[in-house]
Amino acid sequence: QSVLTQPPSASGTPGQRVTISCSGSSSNIGSNTVNWYQQLPGTAPKLLIYSNKQRPSGVPDRFSGSKSGTSASLAISGLQSDDEADYHCAAWDDSLNGVLFGGGTKLTVL
């Protein structure tokens, strides 16, 4: 497996709650922590969630992460227009001895 599996797109209306999934295997998500990155158009990625569910300083608590087995999820509540971005999951892979990223999910706020 060369990438973690994410849906290519997701959408929601302002105020709504949306979730984005990330599926992996025993060598990555199943045995290591998951990180989530937000990438606004034309900018570098920004760390959103680390260690499955921890938020760096400055990240609103509207963003939350969870992990179960070989899958993880990012939830965004109280959706806002400036949440429109690409979201990427990532995890260390023991077989690769490196990092695997998901293909990215483009979130549209309708």
Partner 1 sequence: EVQLVESGGGLVQPGGSLRLSCAASEFTFSNSWMHWVRQAPGKGLVWVSRINTDGSSTSYADSVKGRFTISRDNAKNTLNLQMNSLRGEDTAVYYCARAPGQWLVYGMDVWGQGTTVTVSS
Q: Which stretch binds partner 1 (CB under 8 A): 11-19, 70-78, 82-90?
A: 82-90
CB atoms within 10 A of CB 1: 13
Q: Which of 29, 90, 107, 109 binds partner 1 (CB under 8 A)?
A: 90
Length reported for the chain = 110
* Amino acid identity for residue 94 in this structure: D
Nearest-approach distance from CB 97 to partner 1, in angstroms: 5
> To which H or E segment does residue 106 belong?
strand 105-109
Among 18, 102, 107, 109, binds partner 1 (CB under 8 A): 102
Q: Using CA atoms, how far apart are residues 55 and 57, in angstroms rounded to an integer?
A: 6
**By the criterion CB under 8 A, which residues form the site for partner 1?**
3, 32-33, 35, 37, 39, 44-47, 49-51, 56, 86, 88, 90-92, 96-104
